[in-house]
Amino acid sequence: MDPSTYARTRLSTLAPPLERAPNPVALLRSLDRRQWLFFLVPIPSLPRAAACADGLEVAFLAWTWDAFDFFTVSLTVEDLAETFGRSIADVTWGITLTLMFRSAGAVAFGIAADRYGRRWPFVVNNVLFVVLELATAFTTTYGQFLAVRALFGVAMGGLYGNAAATALEDCPEAARGLLSGMLQQGYAFGFLLATVFARGLVDTTSHGWRPLFWVGACPPVLIIVFRLCLPETAAYTERDAARRAHGDVAESFVAEGKVALKRHWLLLLYLVLLMAGFNFMSHGSQDLYPTLLANQYGFSHDAVTVTQVVANLGAITGGTVVGYCSQTFGRRLSIICMCIVGAALLYPYTFVTSKAVVAAAFFEQFCVQGAWGVIPIHLMELSPGAYRTFVVGTSYQLGNLISSASSTIEATLGERFPLPPRGTARRYRYGLVICIFLACVYAYVIVLVLLGPEQRGRSMRAEQEEPVVAPGHDTAASGEAQGDVEKGARKG
């Protein structure tokens, strides 16, 4: 398809397929309830749906605690600033460095997961979580804090692509949208847990903020044991068998990588730009919001906690509902609708000064995470099969790299709009900055999604993916490949 034809079809392809919406309960029951509860021993002959159920559980838990460990800093910014004798803007560099270094982890662990399987890179990721979260708790200087959080970013970056592949690549097509939304909301659930634990642990003992990080280091140990009890995904096993059939597995993997970059570089660039917008949207609406409530509007710790909990309940609801609906209305249309509604809610989200802001927070995060609920399966369907973990994880984390300064930008700009102090505490108009910042982000995401491709319903079985490339070849055996954007245009 030529570029002009592709451009002309961007609006027409937004028309929803309007396929009959499957019963969500029936979709979950199709994964076999017995296998949802299976934890202890790997069974290599598990049916594909059952493997999906197990994969979703372990991926959801890991993604939940990944988010928990990340937000431990966001929720203790003022405490950390006091401990290290720095400003809030200085401490947000700990968030920025984590986001910046996540791309390094995505590349390293993504390649490892596509080459050697999903299990062991996943385990190493979680071992690093334990070590680095404990290390954060024992830092005594600002320099140590920044160094540890940068290393934490490497570990955190390696998880997303692996978790998405583990959870979704074996799932039945009809259940993908629902399970994508459920998986992504591990992030919101992790934020919710971090909010609750922060209220119970921070400044309630003589150790200040440190107990929150000590607790954060514990659950990954159980997640490691859980993952070791599960087999590889069927999709990876099939792909690996196909590589072995061509002789040298390592050479086949490298040859596939060369072909993937040659064919799909434009798609990868698009996904990075898309993920930059999405990460600006989530971090711009969440990371500095507790500081906005406490600093600008004078909310107590309890009021901030209640608002954050309600907001994350909205996020969990939105991600699950919109992810499910995207199976009927399409991925792109679902995202665009959530961005439009989210933009309309920005004023009450950032300017309501009373506790009634909890309603705006619920629905704003419903929209933000509703759009995000589509993303895991949207990325999976657009990515080439041989390098699915690498492409999903790297595009997500490079987008994070671009958006890594979100909280620092907001905090720095906010300090240019001072308010009358409350006692000895300086106050700033963070609400104004967050509102304008997110309005620009929503507009950017709408335009990018409108221009982009969609491959809803694409098969992820190895035999229906692009063929394995034999060593010494730079093209697949079954003919000339077409670009992903062109293939995407045929489906939407």
- Over residues 181-223, the pLDDT tens digits come to 888 888 888 888 998 899 889 888 888 899 999 999 999 998 8
**420: Cβ–Cβ under 8 A, 6 or more apart, which residues?**
427
Which of the four pLDDT bands, split at 50, 70 and 90, describes residue 488?
A: very low
List Cα–Cα distances, 342 to 40, 284, 319, 491, in angstroms. 42, 13, 13, 27
pTM of the prediction? 0.76
Nearest to 401 by CA among 95, 194, 124, 126: 95
Residue 33: pLDDT over 50:
no
Confidence (pLDDT) at 490:
40
For 426, the 3-state DSSP assignment is: strand
What is the H or E stretch that residue 40 is in?
Answer: none
**276: Cβ–Cβ under 8 A, 6 or more apart, which residues?**
398, 399, 400, 402, 403
Distance of CA 130 to the CA centre of its chain: 20
Nearest to 373 by CA among 191, 171, 159, 183: 183
Confidence (pLDDT) at 434:
95
d(CA 7, CA 450): 10
Residue with tokens 């909205």: 314
Question: What is the torsional sign of CA 89, 95, 98, 101?
Answer: negative
Q: Which of 13-17, 294-298, 367-371 has the highest mean pLDDT?
A: 367-371
- 96-124: average pLDDT: 85
Rg, C-alpha atoms of the chain: 22
Q: What digits encode the pLDDT tens for the residues 243-291?
A: 677 666 666 666 666 766 777 788 889 999 999 999 999 989 988 898 8
Percent of the chain predicted with pLDDT > 70 = 83
Where helices occur in 16-47 by DSSP H, the ranges are 24-29, 33-36
**Residues paired with 418 in a beta bridge:** 428
Rounded-to-5 percentages of helix, strand, coil across the chain? 75, 0, 25
Token output for 253: 């993997």
Residue 34: pLDDT over 70:
no
Nearest to 17 by CA among 414, 368, 467, 326: 326
Q: Which of 77-86, 148-157, 356-365 has the highest mean pLDDT?
A: 356-365
- 326-345: average pLDDT: 94
Tell me which DSSP letter residue 295 carries. I
Q: What digits encode the pLDDT tens for the residues 441-480?
A: 999 999 999 999 988 877 666 545 555 455 555 544 433 3
Q: What digits encode the pLDDT tens for the residues 114-145?
A: 778 888 888 998 999 999 999 999 999 999 99
Confidence (pLDDT) at 400:
82
- 55-59: average pLDDT: 65
Which one-letter amino acid corresponds to residue 185?
A: Q
Among the ranges given (8-17, 39-48, 358-367, 446-455), the one the predictor scored with the smallest mean pLDDT: 39-48
- 324-337: average pLDDT: 92
Which one-letter amino acid corresponds to residue 79?
A: D
